C-alpha cells in the first residue's frame, strides 16, 4: 500500500492521517513545482530591488521551405529506331515543357541521375551520373541528353534533376 501525504500549513507532512491526501508521485511533482515557484518569486524580488539581468537575444530562423534550384525530368527511355537503340542518348521529359520552343531553354543544361548504392564511397551511399542536354526530340518537349556513363536500364521512369546552369543568358 502506498504511503499517503497531505498538504499542511508548513508544507508537506509525511504519513499523517488527514482527509486531504494524495499519492507519492503527485507529492514529488508538486514539491518540485513549489520549489520552482519559490525561486521565481525570489528572482522577481531581486529584480525589483534594482538588480539588472542581461537578456539573451534569440535569433529567429526563416521557416520557409528551401528553394529548389533544379527542375524535375523523367527518363523515358533511350533513343531508338525500329531495330536498335542508342544507349548513349537518353530521352528526358522535362516538367512543364510541352513544345520545342520551351525546350530550347534547357539545351546545354546539366542533368544528374542520383541513385543510392549499397556501399559507402566518400562517406555517402548516394552517387550521381552527370550528363548534358543536347537537343530536342520530336515536337512535344522531349529532349535528348548524353551522360558520362550511360544510364542503367533500371533508371527508366525515374526522376532526374535538370540544373539551371550553365546559363546562356
Tell me the domains of the chain and their CATH numbers. 5-48 (no CATH), 70-163 (2.40.10.190)
Please check whether residue 109 is in contact with residue 160, taking contact to mean a CB–CB distance below 8 angstroms.
Answer: no
Render pLDDT for 101-121 as a digit per residue (tens, 0 to 9). 999 999 999 999 999 999 999
Helix (H, G, I), strand (E, B) or coil at 6: strand
How confident is the model at residue 18, as a pLDDT? 44
Distance of CA 150 to the CA centre of its chain: 30
Vertex 157: Cα angle to 84 and 78 (nearest 5): 20
CA separation (Å) from 139 to 50, 76, 80, 89, 142? 79, 15, 16, 17, 7
Whole-angstrom Cα Rg for the chain? 34
Closest alpha carbon to 134 in 162, 100, 109, 169: 109
How confident is the model at residue 17, as a pLDDT? 44
Beta bridge partners of 133: 145
Say if pTM beats, i.e. exceeds, 0.85.
no
Amino acid at each position: 500500500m502506498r504511503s499517503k501525504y497531505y498538504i499542511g500549513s508548513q508544507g508537506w507532512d509525511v504519513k499523517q492521517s488527514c482527509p486531504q491526501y494524495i499519492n507519492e508521485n503527485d507529492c514529488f511533482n508538486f514539491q518540485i513545482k513549489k520549489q520552482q515557484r519559490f525561486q521565481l518569486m525570489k528572482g522577481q524580488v531581486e529584480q525589483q530591488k534594482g538588480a539588472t539581468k542581461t537578456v539573451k537575444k534569440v535569433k529567429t530562423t526563416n521557416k520557409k521551405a528551401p528553394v529548389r534550384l533544379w527542375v524535375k525530368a523523367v527518363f523515358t527511355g533511350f533513343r531508338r529506331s525500329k531495330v536498335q537503340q542508342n544507349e548513349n542518348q537518353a530521352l528526358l521529359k522535362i516538367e512543364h515543357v510541352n513544345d520545342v520552343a520551351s525546350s530550347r531553354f534547357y539545351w546545354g543544361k546539366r542533368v544528374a541521375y542520383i541513385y543510392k548504392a549499397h556501399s559507402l564511397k566518400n562517406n555517402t551511399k548516394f552517387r550521381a551520373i552527370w550528363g548534358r542536354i543536347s537537343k530536342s526530340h520530336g515536337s512535344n518537349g522531349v529532349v535528348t541528353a548524353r551522360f558520362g556513363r550511360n544510364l542503367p536500364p533500371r533508371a527508366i521512369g525515374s526522376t532526374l534533376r535538370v540544373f539551371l546552369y550553365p546559363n546562356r543568358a
